[in-house]
Amino acid sequence: MQYRNGQRLPPEALGVAARLSVNPRARRLSIRIDGRAGEAVLIAPSERKLGEVVAFARTKTDWILDRLAQRQPGTPIVPGAVLPLFDRPTRLVAVPGAGAARLSEDADGPVILSGGEGEAFARRVENLFKRIARDTLQARTDVHLKTLGPKAGRGPVKISIADPKSRWGSCSPHNRTIRYSWRVIMAPHAVVDYLAAHEVAHLVHADHSPAYWSVVHDLIGDHRPYRRWLKDNGAALQAVGR
Protein backbone atom coordinates (compact mmCIF):
# COMPACT_ATOMS: atom_id res chain seq x y z
CA MET A 1 0.00 0.00 0.00
CA GLN A 2 1.26 3.49 -0.86
CA TYR A 3 1.14 5.82 2.13
CA ARG A 4 1.23 9.60 2.01
CA ASN A 5 1.79 12.47 4.41
CA GLY A 6 -1.40 13.52 6.22
CA GLN A 7 -3.26 10.33 5.35
CA ARG A 8 -5.75 8.99 7.91
CA LEU A 9 -5.73 5.23 8.09
CA PRO A 10 -9.00 3.31 7.87
CA PRO A 11 -10.13 1.91 11.26
CA GLU A 12 -9.39 -1.65 10.26
CA ALA A 13 -5.72 -0.85 9.56
CA LEU A 14 -4.69 -0.58 13.21
CA GLY A 15 -7.91 -0.85 15.18
CA VAL A 16 -7.40 2.76 16.34
CA ALA A 17 -7.75 6.19 14.77
CA ALA A 18 -4.39 7.14 13.26
CA ARG A 19 -2.89 9.78 11.01
CA LEU A 20 0.42 9.71 9.12
CA SER A 21 2.85 12.60 9.41
CA VAL A 22 6.22 13.28 7.77
CA ASN A 23 8.68 15.35 9.81
CA PRO A 24 12.04 15.75 8.04
CA ARG A 25 13.63 16.72 11.37
CA ALA A 26 12.60 13.45 13.02
CA ARG A 27 15.55 11.19 13.75
CA ARG A 28 13.49 8.02 14.21
CA LEU A 29 10.03 6.54 13.83
CA SER A 30 7.69 7.66 16.60
CA ILE A 31 4.07 7.74 17.73
CA ARG A 32 2.39 10.75 19.33
CA ILE A 33 -1.09 10.88 20.84
CA ASP A 34 -3.21 13.82 19.69
CA GLY A 35 -5.59 14.14 22.61
CA ARG A 36 -7.63 16.85 20.95
CA ALA A 37 -8.35 14.81 17.82
CA GLY A 38 -8.50 11.50 19.70
CA GLU A 39 -6.03 9.80 17.38
CA ALA A 40 -2.48 8.53 17.15
CA VAL A 41 -0.05 10.42 14.94
CA LEU A 42 2.51 8.14 13.28
CA ILE A 43 5.64 10.14 12.51
CA ALA A 44 8.38 9.25 10.02
CA PRO A 45 11.33 11.29 8.72
CA SER A 46 10.29 10.77 5.08
CA GLU A 47 7.32 9.56 3.06
CA ARG A 48 9.13 6.38 2.03
CA LYS A 49 9.40 5.47 5.73
CA LEU A 50 5.65 5.73 6.35
CA GLY A 51 5.14 2.01 5.74
CA GLU A 52 7.72 1.28 8.41
CA VAL A 53 6.02 3.51 10.99
CA VAL A 54 2.68 1.81 10.25
CA ALA A 55 4.31 -1.57 10.87
CA PHE A 56 5.86 -0.20 14.07
CA ALA A 57 2.46 1.09 15.23
CA ARG A 58 0.94 -2.38 14.76
CA THR A 59 3.27 -3.59 17.52
CA LYS A 60 2.12 -0.76 19.80
CA THR A 61 -1.67 -0.92 19.50
CA ASP A 62 -2.19 -1.79 23.18
CA TRP A 63 -0.07 1.18 24.20
CA ILE A 64 -1.93 3.48 21.79
CA LEU A 65 -5.33 2.34 23.05
CA ASP A 66 -4.22 2.85 26.65
CA ARG A 67 -2.96 6.38 25.95
CA LEU A 68 -6.11 7.31 24.04
CA ALA A 69 -8.24 6.04 26.93
CA GLN A 70 -6.29 8.26 29.32
CA ARG A 71 -6.60 11.44 27.28
CA GLN A 72 -7.76 14.46 29.19
CA PRO A 73 -11.46 15.39 29.00
CA GLY A 74 -12.26 18.92 27.88
CA THR A 75 -12.27 21.73 30.45
CA PRO A 76 -14.86 24.38 29.54
CA ILE A 77 -14.13 28.08 29.96
CA VAL A 78 -17.21 29.08 31.95
CA PRO A 79 -17.95 31.21 35.00
CA GLY A 80 -16.96 29.35 38.15
CA ALA A 81 -14.22 27.35 36.46
CA VAL A 82 -10.67 27.44 37.80
CA LEU A 83 -7.85 27.60 35.27
CA PRO A 84 -4.11 27.72 35.90
CA LEU A 85 -2.30 30.93 35.01
CA PHE A 86 1.44 30.43 35.40
CA ASP A 87 0.39 27.36 37.40
CA ARG A 88 -1.65 29.43 39.87
CA PRO A 89 -5.34 28.44 40.22
CA THR A 90 -7.29 31.37 38.77
CA ARG A 91 -11.06 31.65 39.17
CA LEU A 92 -13.29 32.81 36.31
CA VAL A 93 -16.03 35.22 37.36
CA ALA A 94 -18.78 36.69 35.18
CA VAL A 95 -19.53 40.38 35.57
CA PRO A 96 -22.43 42.37 34.05
CA GLY A 97 -22.01 43.81 30.59
CA ALA A 98 -19.82 42.86 27.66
CA GLY A 99 -16.47 44.16 28.88
CA ALA A 100 -13.17 42.49 28.05
CA ALA A 101 -11.73 40.00 30.51
CA ARG A 102 -9.27 41.42 33.02
CA LEU A 103 -6.99 39.90 35.61
CA SER A 104 -7.47 40.88 39.24
CA GLU A 105 -6.81 39.45 42.67
CA ASP A 106 -8.82 39.14 45.86
CA ALA A 107 -8.32 37.56 49.24
CA ASP A 108 -8.63 34.09 47.72
CA GLY A 109 -6.04 34.63 44.97
CA PRO A 110 -6.04 35.57 41.28
CA VAL A 111 -9.37 36.01 39.52
CA ILE A 112 -10.38 36.80 35.95
CA LEU A 113 -13.42 39.05 35.63
CA SER A 114 -15.18 39.03 32.27
CA GLY A 115 -18.36 40.15 30.65
CA GLY A 116 -20.26 38.23 28.03
CA GLU A 117 -22.25 35.02 28.13
CA GLY A 118 -21.62 31.55 26.75
CA GLU A 119 -19.15 31.56 23.86
CA ALA A 120 -18.63 35.30 24.24
CA PHE A 121 -17.44 34.82 27.82
CA ALA A 122 -15.05 32.04 26.79
CA ARG A 123 -13.71 34.10 23.88
CA ARG A 124 -12.98 37.09 26.11
CA VAL A 125 -11.11 34.93 28.62
CA GLU A 126 -9.11 33.25 25.86
CA ASN A 127 -8.24 36.63 24.36
CA LEU A 128 -6.89 37.75 27.74
CA PHE A 129 -4.72 34.63 27.94
CA LYS A 130 -3.42 35.36 24.44
CA ARG A 131 -2.54 38.94 25.37
CA ILE A 132 -0.67 37.78 28.46
CA ALA A 133 1.05 35.09 26.38
CA ARG A 134 2.22 37.62 23.79
CA ASP A 135 3.62 40.04 26.38
CA THR A 136 5.32 37.29 28.40
CA LEU A 137 6.79 35.34 25.50
CA GLN A 138 7.94 38.47 23.70
CA ALA A 139 9.82 39.54 26.83
CA ARG A 140 11.47 36.13 27.34
CA THR A 141 12.29 35.83 23.63
CA ASP A 142 14.04 39.21 23.77
CA VAL A 143 16.03 38.16 26.84
CA HIS A 144 17.30 34.98 25.20
CA LEU A 145 18.08 36.77 21.92
CA LYS A 146 20.15 39.30 23.84
CA THR A 147 21.99 36.49 25.64
CA LEU A 148 22.89 34.73 22.39
CA GLY A 149 23.84 37.92 20.59
CA PRO A 150 25.26 37.46 17.05
CA LYS A 151 25.01 33.66 17.32
CA ALA A 152 21.25 33.99 16.83
CA GLY A 153 21.72 35.92 13.60
CA ARG A 154 20.87 39.49 12.78
CA GLY A 155 17.60 41.27 12.26
CA PRO A 156 14.35 41.34 14.23
CA VAL A 157 12.47 38.21 15.19
CA LYS A 158 8.71 38.27 14.73
CA ILE A 159 6.63 36.26 17.16
CA SER A 160 2.99 35.22 16.86
CA ILE A 161 0.54 33.60 19.25
CA ALA A 162 -1.61 30.75 17.97
CA ASP A 163 -3.40 27.60 19.10
CA PRO A 164 -1.75 24.64 17.36
CA LYS A 165 -3.18 21.21 18.02
CA SER A 166 -0.25 19.84 19.98
CA ARG A 167 2.99 21.76 19.42
CA TRP A 168 4.00 24.37 21.97
CA GLY A 169 6.07 26.38 19.56
CA SER A 170 7.83 26.44 16.23
CA CYS A 171 10.65 28.46 14.74
CA SER A 172 11.40 29.31 11.09
CA PRO A 173 15.03 30.46 11.05
CA HIS A 174 14.93 31.42 7.36
CA ASN A 175 12.39 34.19 7.94
CA ARG A 176 13.12 34.67 11.66
CA THR A 177 9.65 33.97 12.94
CA ILE A 178 8.61 32.14 16.09
CA ARG A 179 5.11 30.85 16.74
CA TYR A 180 3.97 30.04 20.29
CA SER A 181 0.90 28.33 21.72
CA TRP A 182 -0.92 30.66 24.10
CA ARG A 183 -1.69 27.66 26.31
CA VAL A 184 1.84 27.44 27.67
CA ILE A 185 1.19 30.37 30.03
CA MET A 186 -0.92 28.00 32.10
CA ALA A 187 2.38 26.26 32.94
CA PRO A 188 4.87 27.49 35.57
CA HIS A 189 7.02 30.51 34.68
CA ALA A 190 10.12 28.32 34.35
CA VAL A 191 8.40 26.14 31.73
CA VAL A 192 7.30 29.22 29.77
CA ASP A 193 10.89 30.45 29.83
CA TYR A 194 12.12 27.05 28.66
CA LEU A 195 9.80 27.21 25.65
CA ALA A 196 11.13 30.63 24.68
CA ALA A 197 14.72 29.37 25.03
CA HIS A 198 13.84 26.23 23.02
CA GLU A 199 12.55 28.22 20.06
CA VAL A 200 15.22 30.93 20.15
CA ALA A 201 17.92 28.23 20.15
CA HIS A 202 16.58 27.05 16.79
CA LEU A 203 17.89 30.30 15.31
CA VAL A 204 21.35 28.85 16.00
CA HIS A 205 20.64 25.20 15.13
CA ALA A 206 17.51 24.22 13.19
CA ASP A 207 17.70 20.59 14.36
CA HIS A 208 17.63 18.86 17.76
CA SER A 209 21.27 17.83 17.68
CA PRO A 210 23.53 17.75 20.78
CA ALA A 211 24.86 21.14 19.67
CA TYR A 212 21.31 22.51 19.72
CA TRP A 213 20.59 21.20 23.23
CA SER A 214 23.89 22.69 24.35
CA VAL A 215 22.59 26.12 23.34
CA VAL A 216 19.37 25.54 25.30
CA HIS A 217 21.46 24.48 28.32
CA ASP A 218 23.53 27.64 28.06
CA LEU A 219 20.32 29.70 28.19
CA ILE A 220 18.44 28.03 31.04
CA GLY A 221 20.55 25.23 32.49
CA ASP A 222 19.08 21.73 32.83
CA HIS A 223 16.04 21.74 30.54
CA ARG A 224 14.91 18.19 31.27
CA PRO A 225 12.53 19.01 34.16
CA TYR A 226 10.64 21.49 31.97
CA ARG A 227 10.35 19.05 29.07
CA ARG A 228 9.08 16.44 31.53
CA TRP A 229 6.53 18.89 32.96
CA LEU A 230 5.07 19.53 29.52
CA LYS A 231 4.99 15.83 28.73
CA ASP A 232 3.20 15.02 32.00
CA ASN A 233 0.81 17.99 32.09
CA GLY A 234 0.48 19.19 28.52
CA ALA A 235 -2.69 17.23 27.76
CA ALA A 236 -4.56 19.05 30.54
CA LEU A 237 -3.58 22.42 29.10
CA GLN A 238 -4.58 21.35 25.59
CA ALA A 239 -7.99 20.29 26.95
CA VAL A 240 -8.93 23.77 28.23
CA GLY A 241 -11.84 25.13 26.24
CA ARG A 242 -12.39 21.87 24.34
Q: Where residue 13 falls among pLDDT bands split at 50, 70, 90?
A: confident
Q: Is 70 exposed, middle or buried (0-12, 13-18, 19+ CB in 10 A)?
A: exposed
Q: How many whole angstroms separate alpha carbon 63 and alpha carbon 79?
A: 37
DSSP string, 62-80: HHHHHHHHTPPPPB---TT
pLDDT digits (tens, 9 = 90+) for 84-127: 999 999 999 999 998 999 999 999 899 999 999 999 999 999 99
- Domain spans of the chain? 11-69, 82-239
In this structure, the number of other CB atoms found within 10 A of the CB of residue 238 comes to 24
For the segment(s) 82-239, the CATH number from 2.170.130.10, 3.30.1060.10, 3.40.309.10, 3.30.2010.10 is 3.30.2010.10
At position 180, the amino acid (one-letter code) is Y
What is the value of pTM for the model shown?
0.74
pLDDT digits (tens, 9 = 90+) for 123-171: 999 999 999 999 999 999 999 999 999 999 988 999 999 998 778 999 9
pLDDT digits (tens, 9 = 90+) for 19-68: 999 999 888 999 998 876 778 999 999 999 999 999 999 999 888 888 88
